[in-house]
């Protein structure tokens, strides 16, 4: 690039003009894209195998959703999404189930192959900047081979690479959520911005969802179908009523405790059937985060598990993010999966901010 173009690009970046093009792989319902959109990037498309993500992705981000299997989707199709002479950013979070602690012994889980597909796309289209988010356990999968192979692709193509494990709460997400963030650039050294929320500055559960209307277990708020809580059995209702804010099953009377938790092997599962604490961040939200028995997903004071809307807000989605097509029936389990799988938009924004700072530094006067 010549000097005049560099200067023009730096000026337009500072003004927030969309001269840098982003494609979001494994985009889901758009958590990462939402972060880039908020940072005023031009996201050209999101690509995902799960067609049920299309409505939420497009309506909230005003960006095309491409339904495709990236293990056999031609990289040339992705290359055509970038305008000529743009700085090309390829972002993505390959589904992390294969790298989950719960899946390490599951030999049939081959979703790790999606990370190899990501690497092959990088190798083929040579984007200027790459961002990748995943669970930290990915670095250990198959004795670290999968991650090393991904790094080898970047190093072979002469990228400057940095990666770090972060906790999303340190960046303004009201949730304990440790993630591996990798940034790579052909323009020069690149790294994630420093933590934005430290110590008492973290955003708490109360600050995030304390304002929402009260609802009962099994009830939906009439003005927001996403603010709905699962019904509880009579036994589980007794259990949650016997649980204090921030507490769990270890404080129950013996007749409420599950038999499996009475065994030595079950005593380590202290977080299931727990309530959140108003004055702390939430636990890591999973794809079953509105189920009372699936973690510390009980509401801090109301006798129910958190609602879909509360889960979305704790993931840092905007309060009016639309997950449901009003013209279609929806399954809470599908929406719950979309929320739990998403990159928190606030973390996406931090990634985008880091990239914007990097580009300005490399194309400044």
This prediction has a pTM of: 0.91
| Mean per-residue pLDDT, 6-14 | 61
pLDDT at residue 64, rounded to an integer: 98
* Structure confidence at residue 17 (pLDDT): 53
* CA-based max dimension of the chain: 76
3-200+343-363: CATH topology is Rossmann fold (3.40.50)
Sequence-ordered alpha helix ranges (H) in the chain: 3-14, 31-38, 54-61, 75-79, 113-125, 145-156, 205-209, 234-241, 259-262, 308-314, 332-341, 345-363
Instruction: Write out pLDDT tens, residues 151-187.
Output: 999 999 999 999 999 999 999 999 999 999 999 999 9
Start-to-end CA distance of the chain, whole Å, equals 14
CATH 3.90.120.10 range(s) for the chain read 213-306
Tens digit of each residue's pLDDT (9 = 90 or more) over 275-316: 999 999 999 999 999 999 999 999 999 999 999 999 999 999
Which pLDDT value is given to residue 195?
A: 97
| CA 5, 354, 161, 94 torsion-angle sign | negative
Residue 1 has a pLDDT of 47
> Please, where in the chain does CATH 3.40.50.150 lie?
3-200+343-363
**What local confidence, expressed as pLDDT, does residue 107 receive?**
46
The partner residues of 183 in beta bridges, in order of sequence, read: 131, 162
Report the distance separating Cα 335 and Cα 285, nearest Å: 13
363 falls in which pLDDT band (50, 70, 90)?
Answer: confident
Least confident of 58-67, 252-261, 305-314: 252-261
pLDDT at 85 over 60: yes
> What would the pLDDT profile of 205-240 be if each residue is shown by its tens digit?
999 999 999 999 999 999 999 999 999 999 999 999
- The yes-or-no answer on residue 96 being catalytic is yes
The residue annotated as part of the active site, out of 53, 96, 260, 289, is 96
Q: Write out the two tokens for 55.
A: 């409505």
Question: Rounded to an integer, what distance in angstroms lies between the CA atom of residue 335 and that of residue 277?
Answer: 24
Q: Give the pLDDT confidence score for residue 259 in this predicted structure.
A: 75
Give the Cα separation of 128 and 194 in Å (integer).
23
Q: Which residues contact 295 (CB under 8 A, 6 or more apart)?
A: 271, 272, 274, 283, 284, 286, 288, 289
Each residue's pLDDT tens digit, 35-52: 999 999 999 999 999 999
Q: Cα separations (Å) of 307 from 283, 299, 314, 333?
A: 15, 9, 11, 12
CA distance 22 to 245: 42
Query: Mean of the pLDDT values across residues 318-326?
Result: 96
CATH superfamily of 213-306: DNA Methylase, subunit A, domain 2 (3.90.120.10)
Average pLDDT over every residue of 59-83? 97
* Section 312-323 average pLDDT: 97
Structure tokens at 142: 């198959």
Strand, coil or helix: 89: strand
Q: What are phi and psi of 260, to 5 degrees?
A: -65, -25
pLDDT of residue 99: 44
- State pLDDT tens for residues 99-130: 444 444 444 446 678 999 999 999 999 999 99
How confident is the model over 257-277, as pLDDT tens digits?
887 777 655 555 667 899 999
Confidence of residue 362 (pLDDT cuts 50, 70, 90): confident
Which helix (H) or strand (E) segment holds residue 284: the answer is none
């Amino acid at each position: 690039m010549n000097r005049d173009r560099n200067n023009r690009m730096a000026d337009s970046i500072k003004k927030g003009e969309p001269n840098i093009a982003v494609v979001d792989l494994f985009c889901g319902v758009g958590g990462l894209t939402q972060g880039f959109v908020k940072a005023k990037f031009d996201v050209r498309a999101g690509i995902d195998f799960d067609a049920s993500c299309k409505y939420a992705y497009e309506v909230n981000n005003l960006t095309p959703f491409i339904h495709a299997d990236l293990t056999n989707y031609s990289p040339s199709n992705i290359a055509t999404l970038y305008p000529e002479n743009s700085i090309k950013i390829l972002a993505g979070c390959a589904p992390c189930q294969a790298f989950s602690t719960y899946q390490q012994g599951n030999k049939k889980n081959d979703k790790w192959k999606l990370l190899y597909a990501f690497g092959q796309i990088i190798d083929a289209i040579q984007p200027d900047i790459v961002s990748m988010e995943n669970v930290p356990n990915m670095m250990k999968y198959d004795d670290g081979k999968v991650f090393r192979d991904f790094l080898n692709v970047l190093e072979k193509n002469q990228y400057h690479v940095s990666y770090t494990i972060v906790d999303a709460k340190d960046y303004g997400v009201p949730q304990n959520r440790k993630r591996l963030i990798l940034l790579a650039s052909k323009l020069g050294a690149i790294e994630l911005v420093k933590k934005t929320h430290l110590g008492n500055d973290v955003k708490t559960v109360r600050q995030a969802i304390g304002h929402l209307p009260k609802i009962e277990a099994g009830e939906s708020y009439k003005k927001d179908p996403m603010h709905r809580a699962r019904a509880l059995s009579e036994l589980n209702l007794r259990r949650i009523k016997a649980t204090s804010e921030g507490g769990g099953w270890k404080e129950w009377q013996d007749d409420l405790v599950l038999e499996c938790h009475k065994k030595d092997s079950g005593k380590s599962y202290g977080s299931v059937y727990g309530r959140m604490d108003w004055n702390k961040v939430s636990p890591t939200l999973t794809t079953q985060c509105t189920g009372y028995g699936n973690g510390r997903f009980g509401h801090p004071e109301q006798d129910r598990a958190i609602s879909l809307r509360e889960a979305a807000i704790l993931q840092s989605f905007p309060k009016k993010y639309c997950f449901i097509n009003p013209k279609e029936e929806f399954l809470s389990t599908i929406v719950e999966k979309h929320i739990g799988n998403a990159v928190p938009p606030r973390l996406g924004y931090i990634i985008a901010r880091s990239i914007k700072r990097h580009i300005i530094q490399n194309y400044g006067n």
